[in-house]
């Protein structure tokens, strides 16, 4: 018998099992293998696209996936492997698409691990469409969820932190006062966090593909707007003006 606050042992065991299968729908062993492979590729990507990002996207994807009755095994594998091609994109300063490259790499890994062909095809589709570019559009429910999870991790307080980290990685300034950011380019000294917000992050909310994605993105969007308005104020010195009522 359990105490008032502790379930009986057999119930606790089934709860633990449910917990494990909720966070590791592929089973603990395969999940850990994919996690280790993913982290091995992503560890060199710094704070923006390193293993921490992968884990946050995985958590978000599992959350949305459970709400929507998605195939969690496909989603879990896709989330863990979605950015393994990042290094190639960084090395080529954005000229190689990491989603395409990552999908090719993932296919080889999953064949090596002996997954069924239809599962591999579904996982590869999620990875190659997770940027939602041109003809690479998320078609399956799992691909739509991975897209939302990945994009949600680029906004809100985490998004702001990542934008500054990325700016640091490419040697950009903290901020520039140029009002016309259309004359600036990515991967340059002007590729600031504020530019990232203006060019990309402020649009993320409106691209969500699932209801839960939209809900989370709306809240994170509001926080980002607040932060960047405040940044502008401080950069322009508006917060240093003396209070006329004080000596």
User: Closest separation between CB of residue 102 and Fe ion, Å?
Assistant: 7
Q: Which stretch binds Fe ion (CB under 5 A): 19-27, 76-84, 173-181, 237-245?
A: 76-84
Which is nearer to Fe ion, 31 or 129 (by Cβ)? 129
Q: Give the contacts of 118 (CB within 8 A, at least 6 positions apart).
A: none
Residues 105-164 that bind Fe ion (CB under 5 A): 150
User: Closest separation between CB of residue 124 and Fe ion, Å?
Assistant: 14
Residue pair 153/57 in contact (Cβ under 8 Å)? The answer is yes
Q: What is the DSSP string of 51-118?
A: HHHHHHHHHHHHHHHHHHT--HHHHHHHHHHTTTTHHHHHHTTT-S-HHHHHHHHHHHHHHHTT--HH
Residues 77-96 that bind Fe ion (CB under 5 A): 83
Which is nearer to Fe ion, 125 or 175 (by Cβ)? 125
Tokens standing for residue 40: 């091995």
Which is nearer to Fe ion, 83 or 128 (by Cβ)? 83
* DSSP assigned state of 198: I
Let me know how long the chain is.
Answer: 247
Which is nearer to Fe ion, 56 or 173 (by Cβ)? 56
User: Closest separation between CB of residue 63 and Fe ion, Å?
Assistant: 16
User: Closest separation between CB of residue 50 and Fe ion, Å?
Assistant: 10
Rounded CA separation 155/200 (Å):
10
Which is nearer to Fe ion, 150 or 212 (by Cβ)? 150
User: Closest separation between CB of residue 91 and Fe ion, Å?
Assistant: 15
The DSSP H or E segment spanning 192 is none
Size of the site for Fe ion (CB under 5 A): 2
Report the interface residues with Fe ion, using CB under 5 A.
83, 150
């Amino acid at each position: 018998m359990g105490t008032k606050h502790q379930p009986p042992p057999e119930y606790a065991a089934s709860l633990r099992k449910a917990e494990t299968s909720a966070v590791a729908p592929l089973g603990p062993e395969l999940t850990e293998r994919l996690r280790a492979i993913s982290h091995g590729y992503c560890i060199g990507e710094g704070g923006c696209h390193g293993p921490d990002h992968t884990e946050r996207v995985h958590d978000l994807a599992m959350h949305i996936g459970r709400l929507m009755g998605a195939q969690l095994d496909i989603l879990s594998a896709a989330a863990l492997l979605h950015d393994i091609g990042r290094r190639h994109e960084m090395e080529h300063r954005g000229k190689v698409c990491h989603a395409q490259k990552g999908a090719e790499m993932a296919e080889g890994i999953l064949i090596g691990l002996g997954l069924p062909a239809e599962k591999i095809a579904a996982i590869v589709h999620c990875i190659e469409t997770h940027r939602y570019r041109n003809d690479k559009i998320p078609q399956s429910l799992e691909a739509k969820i991975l897209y939302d999870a990945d994009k949600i991790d680029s906004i809100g307080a985490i998004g702001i932190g990542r934008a500054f980290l990325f700016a640091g990685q490419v040697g950009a300034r903290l901020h520039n006062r140029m009002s016309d950011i259309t004359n600036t380019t990515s991967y340059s000294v002007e590729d600031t966090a504020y530019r990232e917000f203006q060019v990309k992050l402020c649009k993320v909310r409106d691209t969500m593909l699932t209801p839960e994605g939209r809900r989370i993105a709306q809240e994170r969007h509001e926080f980002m707007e607040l932060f960047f308005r405040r940044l502008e104020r401080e950069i322009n010195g508006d917060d240093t003006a003396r209070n006329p009522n004080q000596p």
